[in-house]
Amino acid sequence: MSPTEIRPQQQRENPEPVEAPNPIPWFVIVLTLGLLVFGSVYIVRSHIAMAPDMGDDRTAAELRGQPAPAAGAVLDGAALYAAHCAACHQATGQGLPGVFPPLAASEWVLGKERTLAAIVLHGISGAFTVDGKAYSGAMPAFGAQLKDAEIAAIVSHERSSWGNAASAVTEASVAEVRKSTASRGAPFKGDSELRVANPVPGP
């Protein structure tokens, strides 16, 4: 067989693919440039202080990561709850069955404010009962993360939302609980520990 001879099997093969010299369609180029121009103008004209009508309602201070307002300032308990608690207890305060207990109509939320503040400060783990139903999820401690005023705002929001109608909790009350339970280094061991005689010093 000569080098130039082509066999029938080779004739059945398709030719090797090659890149065509076709340019990018003009409308794709125009669309791409239009999107780039629109995005650049949108970014330049946007400002962090603009009302978050289409966002998640965070304030400019929250987006900038600024520290919490000074003591005595009015704090938004609902916003703090949404940022730190709603992921587990839900925005409706109903929690998740069997895992995270509800806060609506909860005897722990409507009960002693010192006990509720202590739970938020130090967390809780183990079996926990609310309205006769058992829950096994663990709640983290927020004492090192939140200031007394922030905890007071959160628990006050919980005690006055979703049909709850209990008195507000003051920053001073949370500070007293923090001081009286300062030696605690672990979460409360479920409601078995919280129900014993005076686990949280004070009235």
Instruction: For the chain, list the domains and their CATH numbers.
Output: 78-194 (1.10.760.10)
Question: Once rounded to an integer, what is the mean pLDDT over residues 33-40?
Answer: 93
Q: What is the pLDDT of residue 13?
A: 79
- Residue 48 makes CB contacts below 8 A (sequence gap 6+) with 60, 63, 64
85 in Cβ contact with 77 (< 8 Å): no
Q: Name the pairing type of β-strands 188-189 and 133-135.
A: unpaired
Instruction: Give the 3-state secondary structure of residue 189.
Output: strand
Name the percent of the chain lying above pLDDT 70: 82
Report helix, strand or coil for 114: helix
Q: How many CA atoms lie within 13 A of 38 on its CB side?
A: 6
pLDDT of residue 80: 92
**Tens digit of pLDDT for each residue in 117-174?**
999 999 998 888 888 888 887 889 999 989 999 999 999 999 999 999 999 999 999 9
pLDDT digits (tens, 9 = 90+) for 81-100: 999 999 999 999 998 888 88
Contact 135, 129 (CB under 8 A): yes
Task: Select the more confidently predicted residue: 64 or 104.
Answer: 104
Give the list of residues 6+ apart from residue 90 with CB closer than 8 angstroms, or none.
96, 100
